[in-house]
Amino acid sequence: MISFIFELILLFTVVAIAIRLMGKTALAQLSPIDLAALVFLVTLSVTPIKVDGKTQAIIGIIVVVTIYILFSKLSLLQALNRLFLGQPSILVKHGKISKKELDKSRFSLVELLSAIRTAEFPNIEEIEYVILEPNGELSILPTHRAVNITPAHLDIETEYKGIPLAVVVEGKLQKQNLKKINKDETWILNEIKKKGFRDLKEIFYASVNDKDYSLYIDKGKP
């Protein structure tokens, strides 16, 4: 029985550490790779455990719940909070994307843009902060301009302002989006030169408004 309890404690701790090392993105938006890793991790961790009868099963449940409560209590201590939960990561600050924090958090630019669009803020410039929380959730804080009274509140009709389409992602041209606005590679290269950029590799993210063709460029270094 003592050996059984020791196995539970050891494997629970190993799995908790493994998930912690996988990073916050494994908990944020489960991609097929994330899901496969977690399934294999859980399967491999419980396979060595042999439960002999109902009594041992009940004891096992009690041990796991006790370990969980203990870890939860320890995570409340300031000294251990960072170890168990980690720290929030600022992915966007004052409308500028942090490539360094994205790489550090193993969070892709595509996932970030998708999350921002889902939150109904298609323009990066409208975002004050995007914070990847320790539990894997994204906190998206818009600028004060984006949360003030809107024309909809006043029942005022407004004209279409356009939607930004990504034309450069991590230094790579998004030709399919250029086609959507009837523009080509020559046009975008001329436009970025006007902004003082000579090479696409200097640009982490760039978008073009589909109405007025205004260009937004982010180097990924806030």
For each of the domains in the chain, give its residue range(s) and CATH number, in order of start. 2-85 (no CATH), 89-147 (3.30.240.20), 164-218 (3.30.240.20)
Separation of alpha carbons 170 and 177, rounded Å: 15
| Three-state secondary structure call for residue 93 | strand
d(CA 188, CA 202): 14
The reported pLDDT for the residue numbered 155 is 64
pLDDT of residue 190: 92
pLDDT of res. 150: 60
User: pLDDT means per 10 residues in the chain (222 residues)?
Assistant: 76 74 59 67 76 80 82 67 69 87 82 82 82 80 66 63 85 88 90 90 89 87 65
The H-or-E segment that residue 207 falls in is strand 205-209
Q: In the chain, count H helices and then E strands.
A: 10, 8
